[in-house]
Structure 1
Amino acid sequence: MAETVFNGGTFAYELDGEPSAPALVLIHAGVATRRMWDPIVPGLAQNHRILHYDTRGFGDTATDDVHFSEVDDLLAVMGAAGIDRATLIGASRGGRIAIDAVVEHPDRFTGLVTVGSVPSGFPEVEMTERENELFDELDALLAAGDHTQLNRVEAELWAAGPTRDLIELEPAFLEQAYALNAANLPHLTETPKPVPLESPAYYRTVDIELPALIVVGEHDLSGELAATEYLLSTVPDSSGARFPDSAHLPSVERPDEFVRILNTWLESRQL
């Protein structure tokens, strides 16, 4: 693990693969840390330089209570790692950061992969009855101040999605989801304030000229499924991959299949 300091944050990151190979930057989900990518890094590093890092206030990255830009953070970590241009691969919140980065700095990136991601500025989507029940449970735990149980139930929601029962998940995957989210509990007292884009990415996806792969799990939430269809319909050079046996974390739940699909797409695009 290496570290770099930028705007009140101390960022933890890792590098794998040959320095001269095409670069991939992996940005984790909001219910995880950079450790979510560990199962897929070996399969990608054979032909790529891999950078994965903990975003501000997650995992091993600590922060002061400052105003910050997720995109500026990303570029700072890339600079520290010696990566000038890369294909971005972002899961959930990480995909939103990736989309923001691509619309703001298209010259710095060669491709875009999102996994269950909603672009900034995307309109709210009406939730199903079951989804409302699940979020009501999270709200009740937050109101009670039970952050440990909240963290656990949150991990269950995104791991299973609203249409599967926990018993349907492989026990090892569910334990992994718990551990990935629990690693963020020490950051509860940190309150940095993100500064959004002046013009949200929702209005600018049509201008993305990079090749894009839009990934989603069949059992993800309504908002993420709707955003996936929006991205596929507006990003000009986009293709989709849908995982029928996964929810919000297909790269964690089905890593071998995820690597196969991703490597095939990267090779087809010469990335």
Structure 2
Amino acid sequence: MDLHYEVQGKGETVVLIHSGGADLRDWEFIAPQLAQTYQVITLDGRGAGQSPPLLEPANFVEDLRQLLDHLNLDRAILVGHSIGGQIATDFALAYPNRVTKLVLVAPGLSGFQFSPDVQQWFAQIKAAAPDVEKMVERMLDHPVYSVVMSSPQRDRMVEMTTHNTKRSFEWKTFEMLWAQPPTIDRLSELQTKTLFIIGTQDMADNLHVAELFQQVPNIRFAYIEGADHMPTLTHADEVSSKIIQFLTE
């Protein structure tokens, strides 16, 4: 297994999958709380943190399967944030017998088309390359990060984003392989018991994804008042509490 991962705690296994531009530090305030009751696995996705760069098209779902196989885990609870939620959802559809419960924190969704405003934001970040400082500035100077950037976690967010932006220059490709047909067309097939958590100050596209997830048969929604796209950093106690309550039912 070439991915970097960390294990803490004992009990039923919970795997935490971080957001884009981040790494396992996304969970540094949540993992210890869950580890009081569960065996918690945090990992750096391929290309992030301390894991290897993308040298060929990334298949994050298969990376996750290989990690579970490496750890001899037949089943696990998956908790995914942003693109990590997209990975977790695709995994639960591909390997439903290996996921006991699913927690999605402001997840992405395979097949979802971002609005023109968001696509323009992405293009502005890319256009700033190779100036890492300017790329990070453009990425974080957006309403989706307004709460975390005015919080005590601002420096942590800048440091993590800068590290992983630098890492992206090691990549040989930016191609990512997602579920086919796209998950957006198959949400009604997701049978895993699911908790969907999102901040009320997240961007409109992500709140629209929440509406689409209402097609999932066994799902409940929890809204974090005053949180943007990073409730894992700014509202960690509230997120942890909602996860633990869901898992102990």
Match of 1:50 among 40, 56, 74: 40
Aligned to 1:13: 5
Q: Deviations over 1:48-94 (max 9, x none)?
A: 11111011101100135213311100111122223221111100000
> 1:113–1:215: 8 Å Cα contact kept in structure 2?
yes
1:219-230 aligned within 5 A: 219-230=201-212
Q: Does 1:139 align with 2:123?
A: yes
Match of 1:212 among 186, 194, 213: 194
Q: Does 1:235 align with 2:216?
A: yes
Q: Does 1:249 align with 2:233?
A: no
| 1:243 CA displacement | 1.0
Most deviating of 184-193 and 172-181:
184-193
The 2-side partners of 1:118 and 1:153 are apart by 20
| 1:118 CA displacement | 2.4
Pair 158,266 (structure 1): closer, same or farther in 2 beyond 3 Å: farther
| 1:123 CA displacement | 3.8
Q: Does 1:105 align with 2:105?
A: no
Aligned to 1:7: none
Aligned to 2:162: 182
> 1:29–1:94: 8 Å Cα contact kept in structure 2?
yes
Match of 1:36 among 26, 39, 49: 26
Q: Does 1:154 align with 2:144?
A: no
The 2-side partners of 1:95 and 1:213 are apart by 11
Gaps of 5+ in 1: 5-9
| 1:175 CA displacement | 1.2
Pair 67,123 (structure 1): closer, same or farther in 2 beyond 3 Å: closer
SS at 1:259 equivalent: helix
Q: Does 1:79 align with 2:69?
A: yes
Q: Does 1:173 align with 2:163?
A: no
Gaps of 5+ in 2: none
Most deviating of 51-60 and 145-154:
145-154
1:118-137 aligned within 5 A: 118-125=108-115, 127=117, 135-136=120-121
| 1:158 CA displacement | 6.7
Q: Deviations over 1:166-199 (max 9, x none)?
A: 5xx22x2111211221121133131343222221
> 2:148–2:228: 8 Å Cα contact kept in structure 1?
no
Name the TM-score, length of structure 1 as normaliser. Answer: 0.84
Most deviating of 46-55 and 146-155:
146-155
| 1:113 CA displacement | 0.9
Matched letter for residue 69 of structure 2: G
Q: Which has the higher strand share?
A: 1
Q: How many residues are treated as equivalent by the alignment?
A: 246
Q: Deviations over 1:190-209 (max 9, x none)?
A: 13432222211111111111
The 2-side partners of 1:126 and 1:244 are apart by 26
Matched letter for residue 22 of structure 1: E
Name the TM-score, length of structure 2 as normaliser. Answer: 0.91
Q: Structure 1 vs Structure 2: percent identity of aligned residues?
A: 25
